[in-house]
Structure 1
């Protein structure tokens, strides 16, 4: 990108992402661009009218880059509108876990991530299309982690304490799922605590679920967690250690159809989606342009 080229940036800010006020981020963005030749506009998400107002703002402002300021849920939401408008997505990691930002090596600090937004390189990454209507950038799963996401959302306590309480509730209520997994090449039947549709390697906590994951390789992985002891669960959710490879199976796929014997908890990129019995997913190679460190 030529240094002389002036760009227009639209920042879509979730003001309460991660349970923290974002006024300092707004001030920091404006201060950063005072020293830049580029144009900037801030758009505050309200969680109610964004689906209508954000695309209208994108259409009227015509930015060169749309920047999501928030956590994984915010990034997923803004990414879908950037993709529809065929505009590259920038990321400022302002959530509680920031899994996708970590996956893409986006710096955690405001100034460093702004440098990437302005001076980074544009790269195409894959998305997983789920049930033909939703998109997963990072990780979706059925079972225990989705149950934890639900409990965390319902709890009045945020941060590590709220997370630990959610883990304890999951431990007390965990149940095996019985599933049929059809990857097109084979159909396997498994009893498992979790099944992950992984476009990436690790959760926002840093726990590695899919060691060989790559967001731009034209496929995703179906990760089946067959066995989880109390020790393994605490290692995963509290100490954020990788899963024991002896207790998981990984199936590379470009599409998958999963049917569960009973309804199971389901989440997409950290957003709880209710209980499901059936999921169809397929890879959309290179569907989203993202601004990454040079």
Structure 2
């Protein structure tokens, strides 16, 4: 995930800013200009400041409203109000980024985006208290007193789960169980399942119709992970928020990099990871995963970008 999307100050309550309006410190957003180019230029006069997050809708999308907890795809351009210089943009690459309206996100992002309609183009001005606070963000040359101005195109809302007709796993695996909301919650014992697995494997239980996942893409997924075959559930995302990460990069266990690349977006995939493709003798500090554990996951591939 891009660093600019991550909060470095404590999140405050997610209060929706009013659309349009102005701020007495900086004259509002009426004087900010946005070109009509495919990669739009955002022109902000030097010394622009606001004391609260404000939002101006340039084009109303007409789609579903963004809600707290939603994962959305956006295109963005960011300008430092103090210098008038652009410090970030996704438009040139043509690849929107994914972010989740939840704790950990910059408060100004959630204040500006929650309640807006999918398909909208908006401007959001974010003061330091709703941005990077007193620390600033040196990687983007944002200092402690700088207001940030963002242009957002809200491209799409990412579904919270995959849908489709499911099928049973092979008889040599434990069977997937669902909770009351029909979300995967773990795996149950069967008489025919293998007690041990020495090879990694992937099994599609709901076939998606999206594009195949490519190495280097950012994935958004829901998942549950359990000690194989029917041990403790050691991690899951369903009770929290979808996970976003780069596939094929460092930091993921080998079997996810090996087996999720090539799977179609919209699929639910069960992944079996023997120790040499998981954590071997070095499980994550603080986790309940023992050394030498085989793991089994159910992964919903919600989006790849």
TM-score under structure 1 length normalisation = 0.29
The structure carrying a bigger strand percent of its residues is: 1
Query: Which one has a bigger Cα radius of gyration?
Result: 2
Q: Which has the higher contact order (CA 8 A, sep 6+)?
A: 1
The structure carrying a bigger helix percent of its residues is: 1
